[in-house]
Every structure is written in structure tokens, then in C-alpha cells.
Chain A
Amino acid sequence: MMRIIYALVFGVYFGVIQTAYFFGLEILLTAAYTSFVTATLAWISGAMAGLFLPDGQGANIRVAKPLVAKPLVAPLVAWHVAGLLAYYGAMALLYSFPYDFSLLPAYWILIMISGAQAGHFFRINQPYFPTSAQLFLMENNGFILGWVVGFGGFVALGVKSLLISPAALGVALIPMVLLHARYATRQVGEPGEANSTYVS
């Protein structure tokens, strides 16, 4: 149950932060397709890069169970914080220099960093789900919910929601990351729960 909630909530977070990027760029850069292309392609390329980032866990898992939690937590929290900082960096730039196209490369890089967290999320969490289908399913359900929440928040609160929602959700997720790491540690090695290739 815990892992289902975990994937779901991270999906919500990714949905919220993606819609927040879209709306932020649309309002403070341009509503032209430049914004949509930048947000879409930068996010996807970031997610691709995130899939190949070092997961910081494989070797340690093979050493001993008690050591798993710590190496798992470090990359999860690091990318989570990096993704959030990148988002607020982009917002700070947008507010400080509205309508400035010369900053597009900077936005691209910052969105990539947030997208990288999404790719890294799948890579690092796959071993803790019985099938990858379950991981994708739960994350996608959360993503849809996050998309609705992000859109609804923006419609109801306007730009305030772009500043509040990602931070509120992002901070709330940190205890969840820690809980998940603890849970994942317990699951490693149990038949049918974790992927055996990661505990050989």
C-alpha cells in the first residue's frame, strides 16, 4: 500500500510542477508555442537523462540490508531538492526578467533538472514494485490528479498557486521519501516484493 501511495503522490507532484512550468512560461514569457515546446522537450530530455543517472544504490544493496536506506535516501532527496530549486530558479528568472527570450536556454536547463527527477524516480523505484506496470500506473494516475490540481489551483488562485503549490507539495514529500526508503529497505530480499536482480 505504501509504495502505491508513494508513486501516486510523486505523480501528483510531477503533474503539479509540470503545469506550473507551463503556466509560468505562458504568463511571463510568451503564450506562443515557444513556451510549450521548451517545457515539453526540456522535460522529456531531462527525464531521459534522469533514467541514466547513477542510482547510488546497486552496489550497496548487495553489501547488506541495513545500509540500503541511507544510499537510497541520498539520491532521492538530492534530486527532489534539485528539481524544486530548479523550478523556483526558473520562476525567479521569469519574474525578474519577464518576456525575455534570451533566457530560454536557462529555462531549458532548469526544466531539464526538474524532468531529470522524474526519470530518476522511475529508475530508482522500479526494484520496489512487483511490476513496472504498477509503478507506471500509479505514477500516471497521480500525474492526472496533479494535472487537475495544478490546473484547478491556477484557475482558482492564479499566479499565487505557481509559487505555493510546488513548494508545499515538495516539502510534504520529503517525509514520504524517508518513509519509502525505510519501507523499501524492509522489502529488499522478500520474495515477490522486490526484483531479484537487485538483491543478488
Chain B
Amino acid sequence: MKPINHQLAILFLAGICLMLLQFFMVREISAILRGTEIVILLVTISYFTGYSVGYALSGRFSLAGLRLLAVVFWMLHITLPFSLRYFSAMLHEKSPGWSFAFIIFFAMFLLSSFYSLLLPWFIDKDGGGNSLARLYGAELAGAMTGAVGAMTLGTYPMAQPLLYQVSLAGLVFMLWPRKVMAAALAMGLVVYLVAFQTLERGSLAVHYVKGLHFQQAEPLLSVNSPYQKVDFIRSGMTGKTYIFLDGNMNFGSTSLEHFNTFLSRLPATIIRPENALVIGAGSLQSLRNVAPHSGHVDVVEIDGAVVEGSRRFLAEINRLDTISNWSLTIQDAKNYLGSTDKKYDLIVVDVPAPLSVQLGLLHSVEFYTLAKSRLTPKGALSVSLSGSFSEKASTPKTVAAAALAVFEEVFLVAPDIPGRSFVLAARSLPFGREDIERASLELGHKNIATYDRAEAKLIVGDTPPISLDNLSYPVRRSLRLVVRRHITGEAP
């Protein structure tokens, strides 16, 4: 049997594959499982455990065995990510728990293990010595290339998977350089390229129908941004467009649309801000609600892919064609608030519930303190409590606790929309309970409950807020959700 000549190139390609897998497949898998902090943690740990599996098996393969394994891995991985979506959706329909277990097993044993097996295999076959630096260096150089590729190509729907498939095919060919292998690999790549759109749309539709109970689902856009998997899905039944971020619904339900109106339009109509800031663009509906009542609106959104998708597919919702008094900054909200000198009369925080540490930071005492420092003396902050405010609701109480810890004046508002409430907070609120009730009535909602600071404090009790010294709440909430979604099946 011929020896392998291109060790450096093989390991360079393995490095590319490993890093691309870490970016797009870990995210893809997290989205299938509807990524929260615990899901992302479990999937990432499984991915790295795959390295250990590869290292542990490294010494057990002969060259012939390694070549065979490479071909088997290629045949499995050339079906990704579609096969995983189809299979997990099929399993999910029967049992969410089995689907969850299968995906974790896949991530642990069948994702990264083959690539990690290669480095020690080559070093140890080479007799160790100085080859480690050379060979490991090649793999790390590949990893850097893969990271740059993953970061720059994510917003082009086909680019990351294609780069991965080309790198994998090149690796397999160099491991087993035969004409018949070259022909098979080339044919596989051509089929992958030709079938990509059909399989991508088909597998996403099946995932949303079987996994998330859509009657019919039409994927409009699906990209891996540097932060999350962003899906825009149109319901075949209602024609409504939904935004899913890492598999979690960010926009789409009617109650959420109504609530967004409350969260943003209500304070804007009362305050009539000269300068307003909307943190978190999402559907850009909050911008539409605030802009007609404001001098100028700044929108800060970390993920440009969400804004781009909303411009293209939610034009009827945000009506950007009718708004001119706004500007967009693609940046992290903390960094924006920490580096700007601008002061605002109204800041609307329109971000998802604290299901991850990163989102938890946007509901923390420190973040609200930073936001407060950018408010004018009569400026107010409007934040969703991510649930109905009540004694039993832990998330609304946790978010409210942070607002109560920072602001002198607070109103908690619970409109007659199931599962929704929000907080209006300021140093000195330029309006009272009657103004809130009148503005609600103008929005068509008679039955709202409002709690002033003292009333809210009684209900919040000693619930600890999220802070830089205690970020455990998002993780605990995420864990509860994982159990209810994937183990007991209580949550949809």
C-alpha cells in the first residue's frame, strides 16, 4: 500500500473542517434543538468530546482502516445538514427525548472525531520527534483559515457547507489518491451543489412542520450569521412571516405583534421623544411604532442578517419605505451605550427573553445602569418582562428586580395580552398611571393592570436580579426549558 505523502495538506484541511463544523454544524444542531444556553453548552461539549473520541481511537487504525473510515465519514457528512434535519424531525414526531439523545450522540461521535484522529495518527506513525510542531502547526493554520471562512461566508446561504464539503473531499482524496476516488468525490460534490437548494428548503420545511408544528412552512431565508442561525419562515396556511433565531421564535405570533405595539408605541406617544433609541431590531416593528412620534430614532442591532431579512421579508410589517427619520448601527448594545455620548428621551429594549448568558447581560442591573446614564433627565426606558407579571412568574420578576434596583420611578404594565408585560422606568417619569391607561385605551386595550414601584416591589419580593455577579438565571431558565421541551415534552 502506498504511503501518504501529503500529511501537511491533509491536516490543514482537517483544521478547516473542524473549525467550520464548530461554527456551522454546532449552530445547526443547536437550532434543531432550539438553542438556549444549555443546549449550546451540551452541543459544544459533545463536539469537543468528539475530539477525545478521535484521540482515543487514533492508535487503533491501520492505513487501510483509516482510508475506509474516511470514506464512511465522507458518505455520512455529504448528507449534512439535511439528513440530520430530516432524521431528527422524524424522531421528534415520535419522541422529543429520542431526537434529543440522537443528536447529542451524533455530535459526540460522528461530528469531529474523524478529524481529530488524524493528527496523533500522523505524529505517532512518524515516530513523534519534531513532527508534532510541523503537523499540529498545519492543523492550526487550517483552523485559522476555517475560522476566517466561517466568519466571512456565513451570510451567503450555501458558502459554509460548500467550503466544508470541498475541504472534506480534498482531504479524503489525499488520504486515498486514486482516480476512482477522485471521480466519486467530484460526482458527490456536483450532486451536493445541484441538490443543495431543494434539500435545504425541503429539510427546513420538514423541521418546522414536524418539530415546531407548522401546518405548512416555506423557508424564505436561512443563514448562519456570526451570532446565530437566522431563519425567516412563511406559514403556508396563514401567509404570516416568522423570524426564528437559533430555532426560537423571535417574531410572528399575533400576541407578540400586539405587545410590540405596547412596548414601543405606548411610551413614544406619551413622551414624544426628540431622540429615541431602539435596542434590538428584530422585525423593525418597534421602529415603525416609535418613528412617527419621534424626532429621530437610532436602532442598534448586533446581527445585520436579522435586519437584512426584515427589510426583505417583513416590509409590510415595518413599512420602512414610509420612515426616514432613523439610522441603524450594527453593534453590540453594551458597546454602543458605553461608547456614545448621545442622550435619549426614550430607550426601547426589544430583545428576546434571557435564555442565554449574552441575553441575560441585556437584562442585568449593569446594563440598565448603562442605559440610565444615556437617558435625559426626563427620559424613560421601556423593557419587556418576557412573560406575564405575577408572583409565580420568575422571569418577569427577575427582569423587574433589575429595573427596580436601578431606577427611582417604575411602572409595570400588564396589558390584556396573554403572557406579556413590560416595565417603564426612569429617574423621574414624565407621566403617571392615568397617562398609561389613556394611551392604552387609544391602542384599543381597556383592561390593563399597572403597578407602581411600591406595588411592584411587593410582588418581586427578594427575587435576585441578573447582574455581573450572578448570571445563573438564564442558565436555570434554559435548563427548565430543555427539560420541558425535550424530556417531558410539556412545552411545544
Contacts and interface: CB of A to CB of B under 8 A. Distances in A.
Contacts of B116: 136, 140
B120 A155 contact: no
Given A29-B335, A31-B335, A197-B129, A140 B45 contact: no
Given A98-B338, A122-B136, A159-B469, A132 B120 contact: yes
Interface of A, helix, strand, loop or mixed by DSSP: helix
A126 interface: yes
A100 B339 CA distance: 8
Contact of B58 (A36, A44, A122, A133): A133
Contacts of A137: 52, 55-56
B51 interface: yes
Contacts of B123: 126, 132
Contact of A151 (B41, B120, B143, B338): B41
A33 B357 CA distance: 15
A37 B137 contact: no
Given A30-B331, A151-B41, A45 B52 contact: no
B48 A144 contact: yes
B182 interface: no
Interface string B19-50: 00000000000000000000001001100110
Interface stretch (A46-54, A62-70, A103-111, A183-191): A46-54
Contacts of A1: none
B59 A131 contact: yes
B302 interface: yes
Contact of B133 (A30, A41, A45, A52): A52
Contacts, number: 133
A34 to B, nearest CB: 9
A126 B55 contact: no
B358 A44 contact: no
Q: Assign chain A's interface to a size class.
A: 35 or more
A132 to B, nearest CB: 4
B227 interface: yes
A158 B471 contact: yes
Contacts of B128: 126-127, 131-132, 195, 197
A195 B127 CA distance: 8
Interface in A112-159: 119, 122-123, 126-127, 131-134, 136-137, 140-141, 143-144, 147-148, 151, 154-159
Select the residue from A123, A133, A155, A158 with max chain B CB neighbours within 10 A: A133
B51 A44 contact: no
Contacts of A41: 144, 147-148
B56 A123 contact: no
B467 interface: yes
Contacts of A132: 119-120, 123-124, 128, 132
B144 A155 contact: no
Contacts of A131: 58-59, 120, 124, 128
B339 A99 contact: yes
A78 interface: no
B80 interface: no
B124 A44 contact: no
A98 to B, nearest CB: 6
A147 B47 CA distance: 12
Nearest to B475: A155
A126 B132 contact: yes
B468 A44 contact: no
B332 A30 contact: yes
Contacts of B140: 44, 47-48, 51, 119
B15 to A, nearest CB: 9
Contacts of B151: 33, 37
A141 B52 CA distance: 7
B472 interface: yes
Query: What 4 A-B pairs are tightest by C-beta distance, nearest first?
Result: A133-B120, A33-B226, A99-B338, A137-B55
Interface of B: 41, 44-45, 48-49, 51-52, 55-56, 58-59, 116, 119-121, 123-124, 127-129, 132-133, 136-137, 140-141, 143-144, 147-148, 151, 226-227, 302, 331-332, 334-335, 338-339, 357-358, 361, 467-472, 475
17 contacts: A30-B335, A31-B332, A37-B151, A48-B141, A51-B137, A98-B338, A126-B132, A131-B58, A131-B59, A132-B124, A137-B52, A144-B48, A144-B52, A154-B471, A155-B471, A156-B472, A157-B470
